[in-house]
Amino acid sequence: TESASAAAEVQRLLRPDLRGRTAYGAPQLDVPVRLNTNENSYPVPQAVVDAILEALAGDVASLNRYPDRDFADLRAALTAYVVRQSGVPVTPEQVWAGNGSNEVLSHVVQAFGGSGRVALGFTPSYSMHPIISETLGATWVDGLRGAGRPGAFDLTAEAAAEQARRHHPAVVFLCSPNNPTGTALPFEVITAVLEAAPDAIVVVDEAYAEFARAGTRSALTLVADNPRLVVTRTMSKAFAFAGGRLGYLVAAPEVVDALRLVRLPYHLSTPTQTIARVALEHAELMLGTVEVIKAQRDRIVERLATLGAAPVASDSNFVLFGGLADEKATWQALLDRGVLVRDVGIAHHLRVTAGDPEETTAFLEAMVALAPTHL
Ligand code: PMP
């Protein structure tokens, strides 16, 4: 047929290293309880909706002009938020933003990774790290967590440093709290990797930082003393703003400057800059659900433990759990009960986002019903 030959033609023309790949993406299914992409279940508060609409109204007539290329107002709002949230002194020159943290991660790889260079991460971790690296031409090295023992997801400073020394990476990805396992990294892992990979930019992906348990130290505290360290964050999770597409990073001003070489001009639209800035100005309201979500997360961990479903300790808004005879069968059985969770490709495990109390109840009740036959 015509479309079959068009498909063959596209495969012929495509970069050889992209042939046969499938696109990243969790199923976007219309089910009652969606707990598969670690979003925040709560809608944007009405007061913030009103403030955003008012600010946007002022923007629309000037959409004939390109946006502020250097997003000065948004950058100031991000800086103020980071300082308030982390207590770490940060200046606007240290802050960079993009359409989601995926975009700022791609800027880092474009500038510091790419063809002929090695990017190293520690699997299982966020699956976009290898996809961004490889689609931008870097060679991905799948480092190991838990020394490769099935069901062990810890990463020690020694193991991380040894792998960093062995592979001579140009970019190292650390993820804390780690997706999909949920646990924050021991702080020494970050310092050990910085030391063991002297020619690398070390990225600490802190997408879930605001959900961390007390006592977790952010890599932001190391940025001032480490010009090779980049800490990425996002408004998609705790901030309940995934649809706004705003991610950011904190690094040395010189690193931020280098990212200007690879970003497309005017990459943050005027509406994006406005809605994110106004949301940040209402940070306290926007983050009002974090404690509720953390309580649901802890509830999931406790209940799954009593069921024998081996939950992994979580500093994020999701829980990885194991002990499943067949994770694909459990995924389908949960879906049949209207609950969508994530199969992250780890045998005998699934990942569930902590939603609101009703969603959490729906998930836990389904798990209780399934436990006798699925665990
Ligand atoms: N980093 C991690 C660890 C994530 O889990 C996600 C979202 N799934 C992202 C980055 C990207 O999020 P966004 O592009 O929405 O900021």
The gap from C-alpha 45 to its chain's centroid, in whole angstroms, comes to: 23
Tokens of 139: 């060679």
pLDDT digits (tens, 9 = 90+) for 263-284: 999 999 999 999 999 999 999 9
User: Are 28 and 346 spatial neighbours (Cβ–Cβ below 8 Å)?
Assistant: no
Q: Using the mean position of ligand 1's atoms as its centre, give its distance from the Cα of residue 236 in Å.
A: 7
Residue 148: is its pLDDT beyond 80?
no
ipTM, two decimals: 0.99
Q: Whose CA is nearest to atom 14 of ligand 1?
A: 100
Reported as a pLDDT band with limits 50, 70 and 90, residue 1 is confident
CATH of region 47-286, choose from 1.10.10.10, 3.20.20.70, 3.30.365.10, 3.40.640.10? 3.40.640.10
DSSP 70: T
Distance, CA of 208 to CA of 129 (rounded, Å): 15
Whether residue 247 has its Cβ less than 6 Å from ligand 1? yes
The number of helix segments (H) and strand segments (E) in the chain equals: 14, 11
Q: Using the mean position of ligand 1's atoms as its centre, give its distance from the Cα of residue 233 in Å.
A: 8
pLDDT digits (tens, 9 = 90+) for 120-143: 999 999 999 999 999 999 999 999
Confidence (pLDDT) at 26 = 83
Question: What is the number of the ligand 1 atom nearest to the C-alpha of 208?
Answer: 3
Q: Using the mean position of ligand 1's atoms as its centre, give its distance from the Cα of residue 207 in Å.
A: 6
Residue 27: is its pLDDT beyond 90?
no
Q: Whose CA is nearest to atom 1 of ligand 1?
A: 207
pLDDT digits (tens, 9 = 90+) for 43-97: 999 999 999 999 999 999 999 999 999 999 999 999 999 999 999 999 999 999 9
Whether residue 206 has its Cβ less than 6 Å from ligand 1? no
Q: What is the pTM for the complete model shown?
A: 0.97
Confidence (pLDDT) at 2 = 81
User: Are 335 and 368 spatial neighbours (Cβ–Cβ below 8 Å)?
Assistant: no
pLDDT digits (tens, 9 = 90+) for 217-273: 999 999 999 999 999 999 999 999 999 999 999 999 999 999 999 999 999 999 999
Confidence (pLDDT) at 4 = 86
Confidence (pLDDT) at 76 = 98
**Coil, strand, or helix at residue 62?**
helix
Question: CATH 3.40.640.10 region(s) of the chain?
Answer: 47-286
Whether residue 126 has its Cβ less than 6 Å from ligand 1? yes
Residue 185: is its pLDDT beyond 80?
yes
Beta-carbon neighbour count of residue 342 at 10 Å?
21
Question: CATH 3.90.1150.10 region(s) of the chain?
Answer: 25-42+289-374
Which class in CATH covers the domain with range 25-42+289-374?
Answer: alpha beta
Confidence (pLDDT) at 3 = 84
**Size of the chain, expressed as the number of residues it contains:** 375
Tokens of 148: 């490769």
Question: What is the number of the ligand 1 atom nearest to the C-alpha of 247?
Answer: 16
